Chain A
């Protein structure tokens, strides 16, 4: 498996502000993803974080709202910009060691509450 850590683990933020979530993996991985889990809901893929290039966003998610960085093979950040209460969710980082790898692992999540 992969050991994945996220910072912060939780935060309470004011409307209109931005929060950057960090994801650190204990070893190099090819694929990194960001998911959102709204309260009581399932997981929705936000984007695939690509090392050295722009992230690939899923339908309904845009770079201006969720900018993503991936400077190397062990680290990525997701920013939730100009937050509103509807952004209150758990945000999860997820990795696959290599393209074609069958196993996908998840971090512990960042629980975000927007007031």
Chain B
């Protein structure tokens, strides 16, 4: 079946950029997503990208997609303490079901 992988932890100094990486195996993925989960909360949809795009920017967030390598990244510019959370990558194929990665816990160092 489909598999989505992420590194478990990332620590970044406040004000620096954070880059969270994700790899997936499903070559038929149509959309790829980034969700944010703060402690004790549900998932917040941050952004998503269509598989025929290679970049999408939305304010401090930049998504890069390398479809050939099946690699997705989320860059957060000027990382702030409020960005501390778990970030989940997810992909959907033609059946509209989301397959989630393991999540990356982002810690901000003051």
Contact indicator A104/B45 (Cβ below 8 Å): yes
| Neighbouring A residues of B92 by C-beta, 8 Å | 104
Please encode chain B, from 23 to 40, with 1 for each CB lying within 8 Å of some chain A CB and 0 for all others: 000000001010100001
| Neighbouring A residues of B103 by C-beta, 8 Å | 42
- How distant is the Cα of A25 from the Cα of B96 in the complex, in angstroms? 19
Contact indicator B42/A43 (Cβ below 8 Å): no
Instruction: State the 8 A-B residue pairs at the shortest beta-carbon distance, nearest first.
Output: A106-B43, A108-B42, A43-B100, A106-B42, A42-B100, A109-B42, A42-B102, A107-B42
Contact indicator A108/B41 (Cβ below 8 Å): yes
Tell me the chain B residues, 51-67 only, with Cβ under 8 Å from chain A. none
For A, the interface residue count at a CB cutoff of 8 angstroms equals 23
Tell me the chain A residues, 91-115 only, with Cβ under 8 Å from chain B. 92, 94, 96, 99-100, 102-109, 111
Does B19 belong to the interface (CB within 8 Å)?
no
Contacts A42-B102, A102-B31: A92 and B48 contacting too (C-beta < 8 A)? Answer: no
Contact indicator A43/B96 (Cβ below 8 Å): no
Most A-side CB within 10 Å, residue of B33, B42, B96, B100: B42
| Neighbouring A residues of B48 by C-beta, 8 Å | 102-103
Tell me the chain B residues, 78-105 only, with Cβ under 8 Å from chain A. 88, 92, 96-98, 100-103
Which residue of A is nearest B97, CB measured?
A45
- Minimum distance in angstroms from B78 CB to a CB of chain A: 24
Known contacts A43-B88, A43-B98, A102-B48, then 17 further A-B pairs from the complex at CB < 8 Å, ordered by chain A residue: A4-B42, A41-B102, A42-B100, A42-B101, A42-B103, A45-B97, A45-B98, A96-B96, A99-B96, A102-B50, A104-B33, A104-B92, A104-B98, A107-B42, A108-B41, A109-B42, A111-B40
Which residue of A is nearest B101, CB measured?
A42
Contact indicator A103/B41 (Cβ below 8 Å): no
| Neighbouring B residues of A53 by C-beta, 8 Å | none
| Neighbouring B residues of A102 by C-beta, 8 Å | 31, 48, 50
- How distant is the Cα of A100 from the Cα of B96 in the complex, in angstroms? 7
